[in-house]
Amino acid sequence: MPELPEVETIVRMLGPHVEGKRIESADLRLGRMLLGMTTVNFASALKGQAIDRVLRRGKYIILELGGCSLVIHLGMTGQLTFSPADYVENAGFIRTVTGLEKPKGVHPVDKHTHLILNLAGGERVLFRDPRTFGKIFLVPGRDWPLHPRLSILGEEPLTLRIPAFLKRSFPTGSARPIKALLLDQSFLAGVGNIYADEALFRSGIHPMTLVRDLGDEARSRLLEAVKDVLRKGIRNSGTSFSDYRKPDGTEGSNQERLKVYGRGGEPCRACGTTLEKSLVAQRGTVHCPKCQARARTRTAKQAERIPGAGPRKSGKRAGAVPA
C-alpha cells in the first residue's frame, strides 16, 4: 500500500504538471470508488475547474480546485499518473512483479483505469487501481480537513515536534503492541506497514512491545526513526514493492534499501541473524530477533504468569506464519 513517502512523491511530482491547469472533463469509470455522490454530479462538479494546488495529508492526495477539493486515497494498489499531451501509449507495455521486464512509462488506459481527468490541451491525469480499494470524494471549498476521513488523522510525522508529541499523544497505559499503534492513522498520519517495520528495526524495538512498556527515551528514539525512514523513502521516490508507481509511471527505488520489510527469512543486514516473520495487528511483520530483542519488563513478566493473557513462547506466538 502506498504510504506517506509514496503519496508525497506523487504530490511533489504531479503538482508542477497540473497546478494552474483546467479540468475539461472528468471520466469516472467505476462508480463505487466515488463516495457520497453520483458519477453524473461528480463529472459536472469537476468540469471547467482549475487545479490550484496539489497537496498531501496522511495517505490522502488532495487537489484543491476553484470551488471544491478532490480527495483521492490510493488504497492498496492505486496509481496516479500524468500523461503529457504528446504521450504515446506503449503498446508493448507488460506489467510484471518479477522484475524481468519492467514497465517503461505511464500505463495505458485499461480496465483498471477508474478515473481520467482530461486537462485543457490534451494532458491527462489517470487513476488506476487493480484491486479497487482506492477512494475518491469531493469536499466543498477547501474544507477537506473537516471531512470525517481526514479530521480523525493524527499528526504529520515529518513536521512532528517530538517533546510536545511525547507529552500529549501516546495513549497512557496502553496494552497494544507498538506496531499496532504505529499503523493507527489517528496516532501518526501516513505510516503504514513498510515504514512501521523499518522504523521499529531502526530504533531496535520489538514490534510486539506493549506501548505502556516503552519509556520516553525509547518513544523518542522510535519517533526519530519514523521521521528518518520516511525521509529516506521520499529521497528514494518511494517503495515500489508491487504496484506503486511515480506519476511518470516509473518505480521508486526504496525497495532496494529496505532493512526488514519483505525480507522475512533473510539475514539481518546489521547482524546476520535470520529475520523473523509474524503477524502483528493482522499485518505481516518482519523483525530481527537479535537487533530488536523484546525487553522483558516487570509488567510483561507478570502478564506471562497468567495463562493466555501474556505473550507466548517465541516461535509459538499466535498467528506466527512461516517466513
Residue nearest to Zn ion (CB): 268
145 belongs to the catalytic site: no
Q: State in angstroms the smallest separation of the CB of 202 from Zn ion.
A: 11
Binding residues for Zn ion, rule CB under 5 A, total 7
Contact flag: residue 200 with Zn ion (CB under 5 A): no
Which one, 41 or 273, has the nearer CB to Zn ion? 273
Q: State in angstroms the smallest separation of the CB of 275 from Zn ion.
A: 8
> x-or-dash pattern for Zn ion, window 20-39, by CB under 5 A?
--------------------
Q: State in angstroms the smallest separation of the CB of 318 from Zn ion.
A: 24
Closest C-alpha to 273, from 293, 300, 302: 293
Catalytic residue among 5, 8, 56, 59: 59
Which one, 48 or 289, has the nearer CB to Zn ion? 289
Residue entry with cell 488532495: 62
Among 270, 300, 303, 320, binds Zn ion (CB under 5 A): 270
102 belongs to the catalytic site: no
Catalytic residue among 283, 290, 294, 317: 283
59 belongs to the catalytic site: yes
Which one, 18 or 208, has the nearer CB to Zn ion? 208
2 belongs to the catalytic site: yes
Which one, 71 or 260, has the nearer CB to Zn ion? 260
Return the number of other C-beta atoms located less than 10 Å from residue 235's C-beta: 14
Q: State in angstroms the smallest separation of the CB of 260 from Zn ion.
A: 9
Among 164, 271, 279, 293, binds Zn ion (CB under 5 A): 271
Contact 80, 125 (CB under 8 A): yes
C-alpha cell at 95: 506489467
Q: State in angstroms the smallest separation of the CB of 205 from Zn ion.
A: 13
Contact flag: residue 288 with Zn ion (CB under 5 A): yes
Q: State in angstroms the smallest separation of the CB of 25 from Zn ion.
A: 53
- Amino acid identity for residue 233 in this structure: G
Among 176, 290, 294, 317, binds Zn ion (CB under 5 A): 290
Residues in contact with Zn ion by the rule CB under 5 A = 268, 270-271, 273, 288, 290-291
Enumerate the active-site residues.
2-3, 59, 283
